[in-house]
């Protein structure tokens, strides 16, 4: 039985997220599994590295699956791209060791969030960024993002329902830059809770608008009260950029 690693790009706009939820639910995982199962002539299950939320995109999602057929990696890649919808693309297929697990072996993940920060809309990026008309204070946002770096309990910045799972995550780096009308936020960490990145970005936007003080971020984190965080930023501006193993 061979173990295959997939590198996947997708526009998440019309999907319920990465994770297969049930019959009739439109998910990235479900679409890929359906095509692989047709290819294999039996049910194939794939394991994804990151369970991106509804509407979130990916430049390089990683998944793995096991298959005993005699197709080459190139043939599997070509088959997938022939039958997948054109908003999902498999950019690489490779053989990996039998014990490779896309979720458990992931060491860190990087997400990017794009904000269009001009008074006018951007027709070409309206589905792939969040429009904030009022000019944001980048200096204050950069100051605020530094407080998130390190290991913290991120209960405040998650909508995760399980109380049994640890809410502790470590953020390794957090950067903000302005590029031709866009504010691009890049965050890298060992893992992220449900809605965590979007709620952090929403909080940073409120800092940029002067509604939250940058210096209050530590106390907001420590409160573990979800109503203390800012609103969750729109999903269309969020991209899974890369995963390291």
Active site residues per annotation? 53
Cα–Cα nearest to 148, from 115, 192, 105, 179:
192
């Amino acid at each position: 039985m061979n173990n295959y690693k997939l590198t996947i790009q997708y526009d998440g706009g019309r999907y319920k997220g990465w994770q297969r939820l049930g019959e009739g639910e439109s998910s990235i995982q479900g679409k890929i599994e359906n095509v692989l199962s047709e290819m294999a002539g039996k049910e194939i299950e794939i394991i994804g590295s990151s369970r991106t939320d509804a509407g979130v995109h990916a430049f390089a999602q990683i998944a793995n699956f096991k298959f005993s057929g005699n197709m080459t990696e190139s043939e599997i890649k070509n088959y997938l791209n022939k039958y997948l919808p054109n908003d999902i693309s498999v950019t690489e297929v490779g053989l990996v060791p039998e014990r490779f697990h896309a979720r458990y072996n992931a060491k860190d993940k990087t997400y990017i969030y794009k904000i269009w920060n001009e008074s006018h809309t951007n027709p070409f990026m309206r589905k792939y960024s969040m429009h904030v008309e009022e000019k944001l204070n980048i200096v204050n946002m950069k100051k605020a993002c530094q407080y998130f770096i390190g290991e913290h309990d991120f209960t405040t910045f998650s909508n995760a329902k399980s109380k049994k799972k640890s809410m502790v995550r470590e953020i390794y780096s957090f950067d903000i830059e302005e590029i031709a009308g866009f504010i691009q936020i890049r965050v890298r960490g060992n893992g992220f809770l449900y809605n965590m990145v979007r709620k952090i970005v929403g909080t940073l936007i409120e800092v940029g608008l002067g509604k939250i003080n940058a210096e209050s971020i530590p106390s907001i984190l420590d409160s573990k009260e979800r109503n203390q965080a800012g609103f969750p930023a729109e999903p269309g501006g969020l991209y899974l950029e890369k995963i390291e193993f």
